[in-house]
Amino acid sequence: MSKNVSMLNVEVVKEQHDFSERELKILDVLLLNLCANANMNVLKQGMAMNPIEQGSDHIFGVQLAWAQSITPEVNEEFKEAIDKRFKTGFKMCDIEGAQVSFVENAYLVK
């Protein structure tokens, strides 16, 4: 049985990237805005966005959280919306090989 989701970690990894600190900050802003847009279109509720620790191959990492949990079905729709927006953004920025991953309720995974 699937559980409702109150927190979602979103990470983007690109092995051996050569982005400068400035380029990474610009990507952060772009991807945070795409997350906010997906939230507005799919969930229509307040969302907290907190950065998460990143490794050297990570180009983006954020923990999204909501006051009211979302159903697994709505979570899948939300993840699809983020994934589509990110892939379009990567294509427009000519970024190849970036992998998007999601972890639901990361506080339960230890």
**Whole-number pLDDT of residue 65:** 95
**Whole-number pLDDT of residue 106:** 75
**Whole-number pLDDT of residue 42:** 94
Residue 104 domain-assigned? yes
Q: 25: buried, middle or exposed (CB in 10 Å: 19+, 13-18, 0-12)? A: exposed
Residue 3 domain-assigned? no
**Whole-number pLDDT of residue 13:** 95
pTM of the model: 0.89
Residue 67 domain-assigned? yes
Residue 6 domain-assigned? no
Residue 2 domain-assigned? no
Residue 78 domain-assigned? yes
Q: 105: buried, middle or exposed (CB in 10 Å: 19+, 13-18, 0-12)? A: middle
**Whole-number pLDDT of residue 53:** 84
Residue 63 domain-assigned? yes
CATH classification of the domain holding 52? 3.30.300
Per the structure, the count of domains in the chain is 1
Which residues in the chain show pLDDT less than 50?
Answer: none
What domain range includes position 62? 15-108
